[in-house]
Structure 1
Amino acid sequence: METGIALVTGASSGIGEATAERLAKAGYKVYGTSRRSAQAGQRTFGMLPLDVTSDESVEAVVKEVLRLHGRIDLLVNNAGFGVAPAAAEESSIGQARAIFDTNFFGIVRMTRAVLPHMRQEGSGRIINIGSVLGFLPMPYMALYSATKHAVAGYSESLDHELRTMGIRVSVIEPAYIKTPFDANFMEPDVPLDDYLEIRTAIARRVKEVVESADGPEVVAETVLQAAIAARPKLRYTAGGLAARLRLLRRFAPAGLVDAGIRKDLRLQT
């Protein structure tokens, strides 16, 4: 039995692919998207080309799904990329704009494209893939953290606006997830020798932690939970580490959180 029509951005690998697969298994008719040309292959869902930084591309993919099915019941905004661990000043304004254009404005474009149809139907779910970096700082990933803080704030405000129209918005906030995400890291475009040693050490530490992290399936399962909940929560953590970090941020003294972050990343106090 078909649960509904779902559109998942950034579904060629990692969290997006796992999410699309999980939704398809749960009964959704799923369309994944990728900026690069990606074939459906052995996947249980279809693939459509999409560049979330292009208004025309966003409009075209939404129009195509509506042509095929007449509705979109679930939008999962997952497309995104990060800058390789680097100091904030090692990225130009152009690079900062680029990461926001995908990670944040891409969500805004997709949301604006599907909302008229969801409002007309009087129902719908929008699930945005955020990060624990949407409520915790991450030294040497300042721009990525900033985009995820923006996603969290946008999602929370949007959910308040849309509830009376039968539409709910949730943000999923995982911690480290073992995916090929780092393969899409953009290198800082104005690297400085002053940061070379610490940048290298942070990158090594992040790679070390990711190797032992949860797989993308934990995020996919949380997305499904949010999608089918009768009363969805605004924010969901995904995985044990993310849940612990949420509790730490909520209840621990600020000084303890600060010290814990620096200790984990092996930064000098």
Structure 2
Amino acid sequence: MRVQPVAIVTGAAGGIGAAAATALAAKGFVVVGTSRNAARATPVPGVSMVDLDVASDESVARVVAGVIAEHGRIDVLVNNAGIGSAGAAEESSIEQAQHIFDVNVFGTIRMINAVLPQLRRQGSGRVINVSSVLGLMPAPFMALYAATKHALEGYSESLDHEVREHGVRVLLVEPFYTRTAFEANAVNPDRPLALYEDRRAAARRITASGVENGDAPTVVAAAIVAAATTNRPRLRNPAGPSARQVSLLRRYVPAAAFDHQVRKLNRLPAAR
């Protein structure tokens, strides 16, 4: 009898997470979606929702143990939960920076540490970390968010080498602008400075426009499902044509030209 694969998707209350959970369920997975307040999440057909705070060791351990107890296995972990940030880097206190890292980076690490023993016991499984093209390039006035994604990229690539011999792969999905509530829910700086006010506001307008005209969450969900099911997994999986273009440009365009384009797109004055 065919064993039905089991997937956990964090941050599944809406946006990319909900789309990924729906797509995995359509592919035959038993899907457990998570949210900080699952009762308020829009029901997703074929997906059971549970409360989870990725910033809590206890919450993570409880949810993962519950999934193993109920289903006996975990085949795919999609680390999608995260928060955005907006503002100049020095406008955020250390405490605020630590909070953003605690969710975006350490939340991912908590989930992986909790799930890996089960994947190793099975001798199979995939961890899919939802990164961003901002893990490959700078993001003026989103420095902390970009820093978390750069950290996630290095962590994922290193970990992937460590666990391959146990039948486990760690893969990255890298979206560009996506039509979600990302910009609206971004953390505002807790110590704003007047000298950055105009630039900060302009950056938010650029981001809002990019999100409004970005890819549908289903584009990213398709990349996640492909990473979860392909027989030839790749470490980095840009989601959608814009993300693929940015990835190629970052790898092949000379640094000075890329720097100039970043400043132009963000409407910053010419570099001194």
Aligned to 1:67: 69
- From the superposition, tell whether residues 83 and 22 of structure 1 become closer, same or farther in structure 2 (CA, over 3 Å): same
Q: How much is the aligned-residue C-alpha RMSD, in angstroms?
A: 1.2
Residue 167 (str. 1) matches residue 165 (str. 2) = no
- Render the CA deviation track for 1:127-161: whole Å, top value 9, x for unaligned: 00000011101111000000000100010001100
Offset from partner CA, 1:211-242 (integer Å, 9 cap, x none): 11111111100011111111200011001111
The runs of 5 or more residues in structure 2 that have no matched partner are none
Structure 2: distance between partners of 1:173 and 1:37: 26
- Structure 2 distance, partners of 1:73, 1:41, is 23
8 Å Cα contact 1:31/1:45 also seen in 2: yes
* Letter aligned with residue 65 of structure 1: V
Q: Distance in 2 between matches of 1:2 and 1:47?
A: 21
Paired position in structure 2 for 1:113: 114
Q: Bigger shift: 188-197 or 200-209? A: 200-209
SS in 1 for 2:151: helix
- Matched with 1:44 is 46
How far did 1:197 drift?
A: 0.8
Contact 1:2 1:27 in 2 (8 A): no
Q: Give, in angstroms, the shift of residue 42 of structure 1.
A: 4.7
State the alpha-carbon separation in 1 of the partners of residues 42 and 89 from structure 2. Answer: 38
CA distance in 2, matches of 1:3, 1:251: 42
Describe how 1:1-269 pairs up with structure 2 within 5 A. 3-38=4-39, 39=41, 41-84=43-86, 86-269=87-270
1:40–1:46 contact (8 Å) kept in structure 2: no
Distance across 1 between alignment mates of 2:152 and 2:16:
17
In 2, Cα distance between the equivalents of 1:42 and 1:248?
A: 37
State whether residues 18 and 44 of structure 2, in contact with CA within 8 Å, keep that contact through their aligned partners in structure 1. Answer: no
Counterparts of 1:129 and 1:230, CA distance in 2: 20
Please give the secondary structure, in 1, of the residue aligned with 2:171.
strand
| CA drift at 1:180 | 1.2
Q: Separation in 1 of the partners of 2:172 and 2:31? A: 19
Counterpart residue identity of residue 44, structure 1: G
Post-superposition Cα deviations, 1:108-132, rounded to whole Å, max 9, x if no partner, equal 0000001111111111100000000
Alignment gaps of 5+ in structure 1: none
Per-residue deviation, 1:202: 1.0
| Equivalent pair of 1:2/1:29 in contact (CA under 8 Å) | no
Instruction: State the alpha-carbon separation in 2 of the partners of residues 78 and 3 from structure 1.
Output: 22
Residues 59-115 of structure 1 deviation map (CA, whole Å, 9 limit, x = unaligned): 00001101111111100000000112x100000000000000000000100000011
Aligned pairs, number = 268
Which whole-Å CA distance do the structure 1 matches of 2:201 and 2:227 have between them? 37
For 2:210 and 2:197, locate their aligned partners in 1 and report how far apart those are by CA, in whole Å: 20
When the two structures are superposed, what TM-score results if normalisation uses the length of structure 1? 0.97
Looking at structure 2, the residues matched to 34 and 12 of structure 1 have their Cα atoms a distance apart, in angstroms, of 6
CA contact (8 A) 2:13 2:38 kept: no
